[in-house]
Structure 1
Amino acid sequence: MKKKLAVLHTTVVLSFSSVLATPLVGHAETIQDMQTKKSSIQKERENVKQSIQATKEKITAAKGEKEKILEQIKRLYLAIAQNTAKVKETEEQIKDKQTAISNLEAEVSDLEEKMENRKGILEERARSFQENGGSLSYLQVLLGASSFSDFIDRADAVNTIAEADEQILKQTKKDQNILEKKQKTVKKRLDELTDIKAELTEMMSGLTAQKAHQDALMKQANLTEAENNRLKAELQQKDGTLATQETQIQQNIEAEVKRQEEARKEAERKREEARKAAEKAAAEKAAAEKAAAEKEASAKAKRSQDTATSQSQDTSTSSNVSLPDDTSTPTGSAADVVTVGNRWIGNSAYVFGGGRNQSDIANGLFDCSSFVHWAYSQVGIKLGPLGWVSTETLKHQGRQVSVGDMKPGDLVFFDTYKKDGHVGIYVGNHKFIGAQSAGVSIADMNSNYWSSHFNGRVVRIIN
């Protein structure tokens, strides 16, 4: 009987020891796997966030570029409007001059008729003069004229003209000179206006081309912005998906940790029940198995001693941990003129007569002479009143030098719609900067157009 009880006690103790020694290996590995997966998702999210930031920076840069394009488009709209008004004004002036020419032609016709009548009167007087014994040379002079103008010139040369004849001749010549002068003046102005209109038409073509180019840039900028916004939305959606996965994995980890904690508590409860069962069995059989009970008591004492020793070692180890030491100590020249206008390259537009008020200058609206005036004013040199500046006034500034002596900062002139109709600032290497049809830009004097229009006039402002 005692032997059987001893066997039963041993079985209970072994069962209790077995419960203490069983690890939760399978679940620990599952948590490790989830932690690894979570770490991988976190790294992926970091990459996605960096991509989102880069895309946002691209969107910001694209918006800045769009603002620049919009500013240039506004500038071009303003230039086109002003040039269109100038074209209309020029066309009206041409129409007026054409009307004036028609009126002058009518006056010429009337004068010619009067002149013919006067010629008949003079011839009749000449015959009468001859019949009354006058000089034969006078009649020969008058009747031998090849034209009425020659007739008047011959009559002036004859000293025997009657006083009345002389007055007729003088009035006729005076009228003729007045009409010729009017015709020349009106014809010259008409030619100038026609050339200006041709120049403006060319400028309008250039401005329209520039606007089309800017519109294309804006269209591309809008496409790029839309693509970047789409990419940002996709990345943000991906980041949201990854965040959900990360949260789910974290919840799974917490659930698994909780499950393991509950399992551990359940194991402790079973160990406690086993211990109490063992104690109860030992108490019931104490009388019969005193020796076994003493042995068990000795085993318990030994286990208690081992536990105390282990705790003592833990305390000793803890006491040897070094703490951080809180008391440790913790450980106006030509060169300026040729470059000052670069700020307007790509940010300006040509306007005939522009650049003569602060509004035009603020918006980069120049013609060739106002740009030159502005550039020199930036280095402290005034080239006459801004409101009256023209290629004609600029060519009389400074002193003229030879083409062979040309250097940066000199003014170079071109015959376009008129002589000296265009001016720029020489920058060296056969190039000049000025307000052309493309706005302020640097042009090559060796190109077909500019080489054929350069007239050799070079004016030096800065010695």
Structure 2
Amino acid sequence: MKKMVVGMTTVAVVGISSAFFGISAHANTVDELEDRQTEIESERLDIKADLSEAESEIADILFELEELNEEMNRVDDALEHNTTKMDETEESIEKSEEKVTSLEEEIDTLEETIEQRFAILEERIVSYQKNGGNINYLEVIFGSQNFGDFVNRVSAINKITDSDASLIEQQEEDKQKVKAKQDEVLDKLEELENMKADLDEILVLIEDQQQQNEESEEKLLARQDDLTTLKEELEIEDSDLAALEGEVSESITAANRPEPSSSQNVAQSSEPELDDEVEGNLTTLSSEESNSNNDSSNSSNNNNNDNNNSGSGMSTVINAGFDHIGVPYTWGGKTPSGFDCSGFVSWAFAQGGYSIPSTTGALAGTGSKVSYSNAQPGDLVFFDTTGGPGTNGHVGIYLGGGQFIGAQNSTGLDVADMTSGYWKDNFNGHVRRVN
């Protein structure tokens, strides 16, 4: 990811420069004004470069956040899976332990039975050897009534002893089987215990990864907030510089304007000055002067036409953009190769001989305010596209009939309808007339 070092140094420099240039609206020479204009343009280029880099890093951060979210989802799934596996393992361990206990009890019972039977058999053998005891084999044999009874008694005693020995052997075999089963369960139990230990380690690792992901997300979001704040500050500084650039440009135009003849001075002495400073922004409005000598009635008619935005200069303003419909929206653009909203308005009025600012904020104070019900072709119309009411985020030139022409962010230079849809919803009723 691209890294950049963008701080408040640029903003501070721009702020100082703006204050410096705003000290005097009138320079001593055209060269000084042009030097100032060059410096402002250079600073705006630096700001645009920083803006571009900030936007690029914000895009990188958004991409990283998307990847991080996917990783966090995978970690959460792994944690859920292994937690379920741990629960199953602990349940299996509990069942195995219960089975081991049951087998141990079974073995104890078999061993006890084997010992009891072995004790009986041992007693019989001892009794046989000692010719005594509770069961005397010789008494049983010699107590027979005849030889046949003797044979039967001997055979019965042999069967009893053989049966006891066989039973003991069978019980020993059963005990060995139970012990083998017990060993098998113990091996399984040991395997489950090892699995549980492994799962414990995995769960610890997953939880650590979760914590690291959350910390990374916090850092990225904080960086995004910082860059967004910086971007907004840079945009404000650029807007201020653009307004200042317009003022300097107007001052250069005024300085280069030829001195009027004495007859023109007399004629113009009765007219109000067109230079007007509105909300700290120098606004110079000029129209083409007629070279012909008109009588007083014609002059009066022309003045009425200008007030109705129907003079030749205003007609040029209104029609200037139609040959460039479709020109793409370019932030800060002021030429037919690319316009933003205020850049187009400033350019269009320049075609009719008017010099007005090239920022929306400065245009919002240009000329005189009129109601929308009295709006005429050539008036400036403003829209709230960047925030709450009264933000004047977009500007265009009213054409009449609810239509206006302007550089739209989505379609470029185009004619739009402000009587319905998006533009109706965002029109704030602010209309200015350049007079």
Q: Provide the secondary structure at the position in 2 that maps to 1:234.
A: helix
- Structure 2 partner of 1:426: none
Distance in 1 of aligned mates of 2:154 and 2:70: 88
Distance in 1 of aligned mates of 2:260 and 2:79: 81
8 Å CA contact retained: 1:115, 1:172: no
Computing the radius of gyration from Cα coordinates, the structure with the larger value is 1
What displacement does 1:20 show? 12
- Structure 1 partner of 2:230: 245
| 1:192 is the counterpart of 2:177 | yes
Q: Which of 102, 121, 137 does residue 115 from structure 2 map onto? A: 102
- Structure 2 partner of 1:338: none
Q: Which of 65, 86, 89 does residue 52 from structure 1 map onto? A: 65
Q: Which of 146, 154, 157 does residue 172 from structure 1 map onto? A: 157
Distance 1:113 1:66, change over 3 A: same
TM-score, normalised with respect to structure 1: 0.47
Distance 1:275 1:74, change over 3 A: farther
Distance in 2 of aligned mates of 1:303 and 1:35: 47
5 Å-filtered alignment, 1:149-168, equals 162-168=147-153
Q: CA RMSD in A?
A: 4.4
8 Å CA contact retained: 1:27, 1:256: yes
Distance in 1 of aligned mates of 2:291 and 2:30: 20
Equivalent position amino acid for 1:199 in 2: E
Q: Provide the secondary structure at the position in 2 that maps to 1:73.
A: helix
Number of aligned residue pairs: give it. 260
Equivalent position amino acid for 2:57 in 1: E
Distance 1:283 1:251, change over 3 A: closer
Name which of structure 1's ranges 18-27 and 166-175 shifts more when overlaid on structure 2: 18-27
Q: Provide the secondary structure at the position in 2 that maps to 1:245.
A: helix
8 Å CA contact retained: 2:141, 2:154: no
Distance in 2 of aligned mates of 1:102 and 1:283: 137
Q: Which of 163, 168, 174 does residue 183 from structure 1 map onto? A: 168
Distance 1:184 1:277, change over 3 A: farther
What displacement does 1:21 show? 11
- Structure 1 partner of 2:202: 217
8 Å CA contact retained: 2:114, 2:168: yes
5 Å-filtered alignment, 1:403-422, equals none
What displacement does 1:316 show? 8.6
Distance 1:21 1:277, change over 3 A: farther
- Structure 2 partner of 1:62: 75
Equivalent position amino acid for 1:192 in 2: K
Distance 1:277 1:233, change over 3 A: farther
8 Å CA contact retained: 1:20, 1:271: no
Distance in 2 of aligned mates of 1:21 and 1:94: 109
Q: Deviations over 1:154-211 (max 9, x none)?
A: xxxxxx9624423431331232133123212211110101111111111111111111
Equivalent position amino acid for 1:216 in 2: E
What displacement does 1:313 show? 8.6
| 1:72 is the counterpart of 2:85 | yes
8 Å CA contact retained: 1:41, 1:242: yes
5 Å-filtered alignment, 1:60-459, equals 60-116=73-129, 117=131, 118=136, 120-121=138-139, 162-261=147-246, 279-280=264-265, 301-302=290-291
Q: Which has the higher contact order (CA 8 A, sep 6+)?
A: 1
Equivalent position amino acid for 1:47 in 2: D
Equivalent position amino acid for 1:36 in 2: A
- Structure 2 partner of 1:456: none
Distance in 1 of aligned mates of 2:222 and 2:99: 56
TM-score, normalised with respect to structure 2: 0.50
Equivalent position amino acid for 1:204 in 2: L
What displacement does 1:320 show? 5.0
What displacement does 1:95 show? 0.5
Q: Tell me which protein shows more helix as a share of its residues.
A: 1
What displacement does 1:246 show? 0.6
Q: Deviations over 1:41-65 (max 9, x none)?
A: 1001111111111111111111111
Distance 1:123 1:79, change over 3 A: closer
